[in-house]
């Protein structure tokens, strides 16, 4: 029976799935964001979050455990030096999945998986995205005021013209 075995097999054998997740994790660490299908991204998130958590504790033992899963010493170095420093205060949730639509060939749902602290759009000053949207009611209220200003400026030159010849 397969009770409590909840991982997605992704249509691959066990060895192929492990190698694919290792390669995808290495790519995510090196490039900070990758474009993939939604099912693979969800599995990759479950694969990489424990590795990032382990990288917070920079010991030989934790490096060896991470290397046993990634098989790439450059990715391990990048994870322990750069990424662990940036996410050191975060208690979890190191990745973000953004859906990007559907692939043209087979209509697979595509997404972008990235590290949370490496996206400048979401991590601007103050931690919030600046909103540029305005309410419609304020636009309607601004239009009559602009019309009054235009009417005043049109009357002002006429008044000056009548005063100048009188002097």
Top-confidence residue, 129 or 57:
57
pLDDT for the residue numbered 153: 54
Largest alpha-carbon pair distance within the chain?
106
Q: What is the rounded CA–CA span in Å between residue 137 and residue 1?
A: 61
Residues 6+ apart with CB under 8 A from 9: 17
Q: Is domain 14-127 annotated with CATH 3.90.1030.10?
A: yes
Share of the chain above pLDDT 90, in %: 63
Cβ neighbour number for residue 110 with a 10 Å cutoff: 18
In the sheet with 109-115, reading across from the earlier edge strand, the strands are: 33-37, 109-115, 95-102
Confidence of residue 120 (pLDDT cuts 50, 70, 90): confident
How many other C-beta atoms are found inside a 10 Å radius of the C-beta of residue 36? 20
Q: What is the pTM of this model?
A: 0.71
What number is the average pLDDT over the span 123-152?
A: 57
Q: What pLDDT, on the 0 to 100 scale, is given for residue 31?
A: 95
Residues 6+ away with beta carbon under 8 Å from 108: 37, 38, 102
Residue-range domain boundaries for the chain: 14-127, 134-167
Tens of pLDDT, residues 56-79: 999 999 999 999 999 999 999 999
Comparing 95 with 162, which gets the higher pLDDT?
95
Cβ-contact 43, 8 below 8 angstroms: yes
pLDDT of residue 20: 97
């Amino acid at each position: 029976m397969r009770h409590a075995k909840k991982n997605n097999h992704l249509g691959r054998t066990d060895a192929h799935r492990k190698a694919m997740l290792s390669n995808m994790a290495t790519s995510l660490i090196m490039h900070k964001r990758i474009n993939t299908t939604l099912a693979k991204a969800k599995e990759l998130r479950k694969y990489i979050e424990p590795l990032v958590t382990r990288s917070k504790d920079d010991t030989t033992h934790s490096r060896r455990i991470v290397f046993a899963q990634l098989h790439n010493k450059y990715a391990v170095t990048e994870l322990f030096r750069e990424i662990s420093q940036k996410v050191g205060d975060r208690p979890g949730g190191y990745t973000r999945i953004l859906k990007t639509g559907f692939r043209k060939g087979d209509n697979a749902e595509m997404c972008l998986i990235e590290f949370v602290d490496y996206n400048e759009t979401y991590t601007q000053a103050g931690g919030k995205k600046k909103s540029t949207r305005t309410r419609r009611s304020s636009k309607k209220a601004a239009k009559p005021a602009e019309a009054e200003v235009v009417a005043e400026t049109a009357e002002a030159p006429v008044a000056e013209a009548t005063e100048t010849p009188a002097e």
